[in-house]
Structure 1
């Protein structure tokens, strides 16, 4: 069924739900879990900054590593083989969904699991949906796990 499962994890409550579901599926199928955290070090450019201070980038990366350690510990506690990876957007036109899709392809994921806030209406239109974009661009099945309402 599934040998490799990629889950997007940023430490939020919604991504914790996704991780829990990915762990359940991995236990049932004996799959290896790949946990990815994407940081957008280019976002400050969109806010008018012409450079991103090195200490800010270092802080983003350190925070992401701590988040990935939480996921690794949960997988270990569940008895699931797990690898973690810190991903970064490659350009100002890159997206989190594209970054996750590249990772899924590289690791040979047969399933991608990610949380969704389930926003509707204007909030969805204004904020967009990484989950929706992942469904459109990812080459394998995508399991969306709804966070708390």
Structure 2
């Protein structure tokens, strides 16, 4: 039984599926739900002479506020308690995965629910996998919801129930 669930949102189609799964789990377990949208500025952006990251960070924060407002509304309709929020990476060396892990610790989550976009091969090598990095350092179990692009919609429920999990002793 879960008492506190952190759900990682990014505004993608997969993120909508992730929120649905997290809402269902929170409702079934009478758990607190903590939707989180992480605003991150890639370090490469700061190395460009004359580059002003403020407008991009503000745009990302605005998008995050919209995503979190939607999550808050859906939680209210289902009478699910929790603390939806937009968080920023705190330094150039911190990435999204680390911020999600720290957020899970802060809300005493016993489950992290997040999507995986299904990148493979060279795209995964170049872009990395936030989901993989979260799983490797997670302070609790992690439920990964695959992107809808990976499989037909009818298989979504089965995939969600068989997604990768990591549990610490």
Give the CA deviation at 1:93: 1.4
Uncovered stretches (5+) of structure 1, i.e. residues with no partner: none
CA distance in 1, matches of 2:14, 2:56: 25
Q: Which residue of 2 aligns with 1:31?
A: 31
CA distance in 2, matches of 1:114, 1:92: 23
Deviation sequence 1:30-76 (CA, Å, 0-9, x none): 00100100001355215x25553544433322221111101111222
CA distance in 2, matches of 1:6, 1:145: 14
Q: Which has the higher contact order (CA 8 A, sep 6+)?
A: 1
CA distance in 1, matches of 2:42, 2:144: 26
Q: Which residue of 2 aligns with 1:80?
A: 80
Q: Which residue of 2 aligns with 1:61?
A: 61
Could you state the TM-score of these two structures normalised by the residue count of structure 2? 0.80
Give the root-mean-square deviation of aligned CA atoms: 1.7
Could you state the TM-score of these two structures normalised by the residue count of structure 1? 0.90
Q: What is the aligned residue count?
A: 148
Deviation sequence 1:95-139 (CA, Å, 0-9, x none): 101000111001100000000012222221121100000000111
The answer on 1:45 being equivalent to 2:42 is no
Uncovered stretches (5+) of structure 2, i.e. residues with no partner: 150-169
Check conservation: 2:46, 2:53, Cα contact below 8 A.
no
Question: Secondary structure of the equivalent of 1:94?
Answer: coil
* Bigger mean CA deviation after superposition, 59-68 or 101-110: 59-68
